[in-house]
């Protein structure tokens, strides 16, 4: 199994997608988006550095290994390098990686509703709604 993500400001949606991905096979490796890749995509750096994000994800019990994802376009190389039989992504990516189905199974898992890194950052910085409990 292989999956990819930024995993910034790690939250319950992250741990659930990792645990559900790990249940589909016996070994889950996770590509953590580099700081540079995030900057290129979102014009801002993550709250936590790539080393910190790698350390957090590497310490999740269902995760067997982590590596840095330097480029979104290199997914095919990462799948081959990691010898992954299944690529798992949250369903915000549905359809985006179907072109890899010649070398691995591609599975999209439903996202956990009502939690996101962006909403947490907005809440903490005072820009978002307060939770009800
Ligand atoms: N996720 C989830 N539920 C949430 C939030 C996130 O299931 N409420 C999942 C996402 O669908 C993704 C993983 O957690 O599978 C990591 O999410 P992000 O850090 O937002 O990853 P992203 O920046 O979308 O990945 O090649 C992909 C890139 O690395 C980017």
Q: What is the mean pLDDT of each run of 10 residues along the chain (133 residues)?
A: 97 97 96 97 95 98 98 96 96 95 97 93 81 60
7: Cβ below 6 Å to ligand 1? yes
Smallest CA separation from ligand 1 atom 17, residue: 5
pLDDT of 131: 64
* 88 close to ligand 1 (CB < 6 Angstrom): no
| pTM for the whole structure | 0.93
Cα separation, 108 vs 89, in Å, equals 5
Predicted pLDDT at 126:
87
Query: What is the atom index within ligand 1 of the atom nearest the CA of 7?
Result: 19
């Amino acid at each position: 199994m292989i999956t990819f993500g930024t995993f910034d400001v790690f939250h319950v949606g992250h741990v659930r997608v990792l645990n559900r991905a790990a249940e589909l096979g016996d070994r889950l490796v996770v590509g953590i988006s580099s700081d540079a890749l995030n900057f290129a995509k979102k014009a801002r750096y993550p709250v936590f550095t790539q080393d910190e994000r790698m350390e957090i994800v590497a310490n999740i019990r269902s995760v067997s290994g982590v590596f840095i994802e330097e480029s979104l376009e290199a997914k095919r190389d990462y799948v081959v390098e990691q010898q992954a039989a299944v690529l798992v992504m949250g369903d915000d990516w549905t359809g985006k990686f179907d072109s890899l189905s010649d070398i691995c199974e591609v599975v999209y898992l439903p996202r956990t509703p009502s939690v996101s890194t962006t909403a947490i950052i907005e809440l903490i910085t005072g820009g978002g709604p307060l939770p009800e409990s």
